Amino acid sequence: MKFAEISPETTQALVNASLDPGHTVDLVKRAFEEDLQGGEDVTSVATIPADHKSTAEYRVRVNGVIAGIEVAKVVLELVGITDLETRVLCAHNVEAGTVILTARGNTRALLLAERTSLNFLGHLSGIATLTRKWVDEVSEYSTRIRDTRKTTPGMRVLEKYAVRMGGGTNHRMSLSDSALIKDNHVEAVGGVSKAFERVRKLYPQMEIEVEVDSLDQLKEILVHKPDLVLLDNMSVDECRQAVAIVAGRCKLEASGGLSLENAKAYAQTGVDYLAVGALTHSAPVLDIGLDLKAEI
């Protein structure tokens, strides 16, 4: 399949969203290749004249937060659809029935783009919607909702973008961004202090986060002045005690056993972050459909 170029406007919109245009285009092209398998859309080719024109409306079926409009426009532009009207900006709450994007052009191209564009839109908007629920739940506190590396392979940048659209904040994008000493590192090296000292020696300027599973371990690591401590599977009361022990000497992140039902209780303890893997690994797809109207 021969792809068209994406417009300078869409390229800039991706950059403004902190998305790499080349990476995004590559993801979309691979999605098309997966759909076509070197062939063509046999149903559309058989039923629709090559010069047929239509208007497509992307309509949200349920209430939610929108993310991925820029990616959907990449999908459409790559197949030659350039008459696009953005009706809703990303990060906005919308009600069921809202048209978020309108596309006009060749009907075969619109239908070729339909599923791929909806896959991206629905997935990213689902993440943004779930993130917003968590953010709203703790909004009266200073605690921030943060994602993890529990992302779909190849989709991390887009999924973390969707978290931002929902009002959440990103943890490290990759293993090279910062150090996070977890239980398996501690087990392998023979102690949390030893692990910390080795990271600090090799990477003296690197931000270091340390996972602890007890208050005693927290006290041990505080001597080394970590930037952040992850409180792994600690109760609300333990988190409250941890905040008192740390007394502002480093940031604290609660992780494990969190839910929307107990998010507020954890935020009340004064921890700085709630780490929520579910934002990216368990967010339901937001129901968005494409309504096609043929031009007579």
- Catalytic residue of the set 150, 200, 240, 264: 150
Concerning whether 150 is annotated as a catalytic residue, the answer is yes
Concerning whether 146 is annotated as a catalytic residue, the answer is no
Concerning whether 115 is annotated as a catalytic residue, the answer is yes
Q: Which residues pair with 280 in a beta bridge?
A: none
- Catalytic residue of the set 137, 159, 232, 253: 232
Q: What are phi and psi of 190, to 5 degrees?
A: 95, 30
Concerning whether 251 is annotated as a catalytic residue, the answer is no
Contacts 24+ apart (CB under 8 A), 148-151: 148/255, 148/275, 148/276, 148/277, 148/279, 148/280, 150/277, 150/280, 150/281, 151/280, 151/281
Concerning whether 232 is annotated as a catalytic residue, the answer is yes
- Catalytic residue of the set 30, 61, 182, 194: 182
- Catalytic residue of the set 115, 194, 225, 293: 115
- Catalytic residue of the set 77, 137, 211, 272: 211
Q: Which residues are catalytic?
A: 115, 150, 182, 211, 232
